[in-house]
Amino acid sequence: KQEVTQIPAALSVPEGENLVLNCSFTDSAIYNLQWFRQDPGKGLTSLLLIQSSQREQTSGRLNASLDKSSGRSTLYIAASQPGDSATYLCAVRGSQGNLIFGKGTKLSVKP
């Protein structure tokens, strides 16, 4: 059974710092991995999608990497801003097409 783990569960950093969020999964047979952002009381917003054949994807200040063989992905946020404060979720898609989620990392960026 696929299990997805996100470390750390919570992170507080000063504005302007570069940071890395970690995601690990137990079964490397995935189709893709998706990073989401969730603001309090809101839905999930897709940030980046990495296919199993890709090593990384970039969008603005965000860069996500994937090492499928070791079951790891990282989300790198450059020059963090208070507006980046949210919960970040990692999810992997397996052969049935379903997404398996980690429990998220709650990020707080202090001004």
Partner 1 sequence: NAGVTQTPKFQVLKTGQSMTLQCAQDMNHEYMSWYRQDPGMGLRLIHYSVGAGITDQGEVPNGYNVSRSTTEDFPLRLLSAAPSQTSVYFCASSSPRAARTEAFFGQGTRLTVV
Interacting residues toward partner 1 by CB under 8 A: 31-32, 34, 36, 41-46, 49, 51, 89, 91, 93, 95, 97-104
Q: Which is nearer to partner 1, 80 or 89 (CB)?
A: 89
Smaller CB separation from partner 1, 50 or 109: 50
How far, in Å, CA of 51 to CA of 11, rounded? 27
Alpha-carbon distance 52 to 83, whole Å?
30
Q: Where are the beta strands (DSSP E) in 28-110?
A: 32-38, 44-51, 56-59, 62-67, 72-77, 86-93, 99-101, 105-110
Minimum gap (Å) between residue 97 Cβ and partner 1: 4
* CB of 68 or CB of 93, closer to partner 1: 93
